[in-house]
Amino acid sequence: MRPRYLVMLLALSAIWGSSFMWIKIGVRELSPATLVLGRVGIGALTLVPVVLVAYGARRALVELRRYWRPLFIVGALNVTLPFWLLSWGETRIDSGLAAIIQAVAPIFLAVLALLFVPSERVTGWRLVGLLVGFAGVGLLVGVQKGGDVLAALAVALAALCYAGGILYAGRRLSGVQPMLIALGTTIAATVLILPSGIAEAPGSMPSAETIAAVLVLGVVCSAIAYILYYAIMAGAGASRAILITYLVPAVAVFYGTVFLGEPVTVSAVAGLALILGGVALGTGTVSPIASRRARLRPPAPAPRRDLG
């Protein structure tokens, strides 16, 4: 990976890793629906000028009108529902724990692909990876007490929504520019969450800390993060962009521990190890057999150089 894309990847992990902390701060005074409304609404407003400069108003409007139905579906599956579930879950569990559980999204994606793509088969180490990843989620959910179990399940359901939204977008929006997808889905999410977000808005002005959390979530963790993510995908490829899955949970745990005073438990560390190990195996990122064959394979001969 080129240095600039590595820097972008690290910056994106720092941004998305912090989003769990900002959500935790935001839900102290705002309902999950109101927080999500602020986040996606500000994110959409931030993306509008970027899209207009990049593609022009005419092209953007034509594409958004043409694909408005799948954009609304993806907006619901990939933005509205998971953002609300994650925000609601963080009213009851730590931000770091939420980030760890959400890291299971690639495993859910592999399972959905297995169910809905007949040519996709999961066997061998990939199957082991799926089982290991779900064991990690089961461990983290199982150690919760009382209503925290439901909150942990809500975050896991958010990960499932992300996976479903990605799979659907890959089928129905493959010909649309990623930045237009980002704008269209955030606009759709704003429309979908608008009634409940307004109805649950607080009767008084939130604190400056809460307002700052909403602004950061909208401008930085949504709009700027989308721009970075799609730039990495375009320049370094999806196989490099998926590395963000391994970086975000650790960064989120760091933020939660340092700035929110959240404890780092043995179960959280064990769950993180199981989930990330399962993701690595289940998505085919790491294959012990392939790695062993690569080590045993004799080195390729040096390329011949013609003299003169």
Residue 295, token pair as written in the block: 């080590």
User: Integer distance in angstroms from the first to the last C-alpha of the chain?
Assistant: 34
Residue 109, token pair as written in the block: 């994606």
- Average pLDDT for residues 274-289, to the nearest whole number? 79
> In the predicted model, is pLDDT for residue 297 greater than 70?
no
In tens, the pLDDT along 178-201 reads: 899 999 999 999 999 999 999 999
- Average pLDDT for residues 93-113, to the nearest whole number? 92
Q: What's the confidence (pLDDT) of residue 308?
A: 45
Per the CB < 8 A criterion, the answer to whether 43 and 229 are in contact is no
Nearest-10 crossing angle of helices 68-75, 148-172: 160
Q: Tell me the C-alpha distance between 46 and 12, whole Å.
A: 17
- Average pLDDT for residues 258-270, to the nearest whole number? 94
Q: What's the confidence (pLDDT) of residue 33?
A: 98
The CA–CA distances, whole Å, from 109 to 50, 120, 275 equal 30, 11, 14
- For the entire predicted model, the pTM comes to 0.89
The confidence band for 122, taking pLDDT boundaries of 50, 70 and 90, is low
Mean pLDDT, the chain, whole residue set:
88
> In the predicted model, is pLDDT for residue 307 greater than 50?
no
Highest averaged pLDDT of the listed ranges 254-258, 293-297, 299-303? 254-258
- Average pLDDT for residues 31-58, to the nearest whole number? 97
> In the predicted model, is pLDDT for residue 288 greater than 70?
no
Pick from 21, 11, 46: nearest CA to 209 = 21
Burial label for 230, CB within 10 Å (0-12, 13-18, 19+), is middle
Q: What's the confidence (pLDDT) of residue 302?
A: 41
Mapped to the 3 state alphabet, what secondary structure does the chain carry? CCHHHHHHHHHHHHHHHHHHHHHHHHCCCCCHHHHHHHHHHHHHHHHHHHHHHHHCHHHHHHHHHHCHHHHHHHHHHHHHHHHHHHHHHCCCCCHHHHHHHHCCHHHHHHHHHHHHCCCCCCCHHHHHHHHHHHHHHHHHHHCCCCCHHHHHHHHHHHHHHHHHHHHHHHHHCCCCCHHHHHHHHHHHHHHHHHHHHHHCCCCCCCCHHHHHHHHHHHHHHHHHHHHHHHHHHHHHCHHHHCCHHHHHHHHHHHHHHHHHCCCCCHHHHHHHHHHHHHHHHHCCCCCHHHHHHHHHCCCCCCCCCCCC
> In the predicted model, is pLDDT for residue 234 greater than 90?
no
> In the predicted model, is pLDDT for residue 68 greater than 70?
yes
